[in-house]
Amino acid sequence: MLLKTADDKSKRLTLLEDLQRSTLLDAFQKKWLREELMRLRKGIQGEKDSAYYLDQYFKHGVNHVVLHDLRFVVDGDVAQIDHLVINRGFGIYLFETKNYSGNLVINDHGEFTAQYDDMHFGIPSPIEQSQRHARILTRLLKNLDIGNRIGGEMKFFHVVLLHPKAIIQRPAPKSFDSTNVIKADQFPSWHQKFVDREGTFGETLKLMANLRGLDTIQDWAKKLVRQHRPADLLELPDFMQPKPISVASAVGAREVQRDESSPAPLQPKIAAVPSVVDLDQMVATEPLCPRCGKVMVQRVAKRGAVPGKPFWGCTGYSSGCRGTREAQGTNTPS
């Protein structure tokens, strides 16, 4: 049973795409922007693909509740969980999605490396990441009075879902167990093996003792959804502030002051640098819309109180945004 879908991240995509057009960013900021957009797009697509296979498998079931895209904050610690499935008896599955369409190499020490053609780079262990999330989630479950009848804390099962076209190079099972690192489309067969493996006599007795009704795990899931704390989609790191040299370039000669008593070369007068999401406070060529945050373009009023007067209009006008700014002076949205 599906109880929560992934959050809509279109505002984040729009912000990053619009910022690419800014003339106020340096080379480092532009590089970060390109990489952040790539990570975001691949992450969204990977979570979407994995959610498809999980939903298809569990949507008609009566033993599981499925939640996608959860973010919990417990005592200042953050757990960002791609997919969470509550089972009526076994416990909780935590799924980490990694959208690698190249090769994934796992060595004997459980270290992960992604390969694309001639490029090789190490990546954090998604299994360790999922286990950190489980430790935070354990504290949250205790706060919400969610747990087993017997056997101590809720049991977690960690699964890493990869792109169906990924190639996985695994170590020997005795060196490192990579059983739970699978391609997303292989989840049904993995789950059947999991049930067979966990279905020992002792585990079956414990399962029967902890078995809960569907209504109960639905209530648990709803409690968890209420604890979901989405990230701020418009938040940017501090280093994405415009650089003073960029501001001086945008402002132009009007900000250049010369000391006539000195033959020293002209020096730009640099004002305090505002936030990159508040570019409208600068004399810049591309202010952002005060309503939706999109880049604005200069237009000329055809009618109204002052026809022929220039003003800034939102590029999202065709999508319904009517945000405007005066071409000069202190601006407020109309």
Convert the pLDDT of each residue in 26-68 to its tens digit: 889 899 999 999 889 988 998 999 999 999 998 888 889 999 9
Give the C-alpha separation, 165 to 34, whole Å.
24
Q: Which two tokens stand for residue 69?
A: 């895209």
* Three-class secondary structure of residue 271 per DSSP: coil
| pTM across the whole model | 0.69
pLDDT band at 222 (very low <50, low <70, confident <90, very high): very high
Could you tell me whether strands 156-162 and 167-169 are parallel, antiparallel, or unpaired per DSSP bridges? unpaired
CA-based nearest residue to 168, from 104, 74, 81: 104
Q: Which residues pair with 85 in a beta bridge?
A: 66, 93
pLDDT band at 122 (very low <50, low <70, confident <90, very high): confident
Check if the beta carbon of residue 324 is closer than 8 Å to that of residue 312. Answer: yes
The predicted model gives 229-253 an average pLDDT of 69
228 φψ region: left (φ > 0), alpha (ψ -120 to 50), beta (else): beta
pLDDT at position 100:
74
Q: How far are the Cα atoms of 127, 229, 276 from residue 311, in angstroms, in the given order?
A: 53, 38, 21
Give the C-alpha separation, 326 to 311, whole Å.
5
Give the C-alpha separation, 314 to 294, whole Å.
7
CA 218 to chain centre: 26
pLDDT at position 33:
92
Convert the pLDDT of each residue in 88-98 to its tens digit: 877 899 999 98
Convert the pLDDT of each residue in 247-277 to its tens digit: 444 444 344 444 444 454 444 443 343 444 4
With tokens 């078995």, the residue in question is 211
Convert the pLDDT of each residue in 129-170 to its tens digit: 999 999 999 999 999 988 877 667 788 999 999 988 888 999
Check if the beta carbon of residue 222 is closer than 8 Å to that of residue 148. Answer: no
Continuous H helices in the chain: 10-19, 27-58, 126-143, 187-198, 201-210, 214-226, 244-251
The predicted model gives 220-242 an average pLDDT of 90
Q: Which two tokens stand for residue 230?
A: 């989405």
The predicted model gives 236-241 an average pLDDT of 85
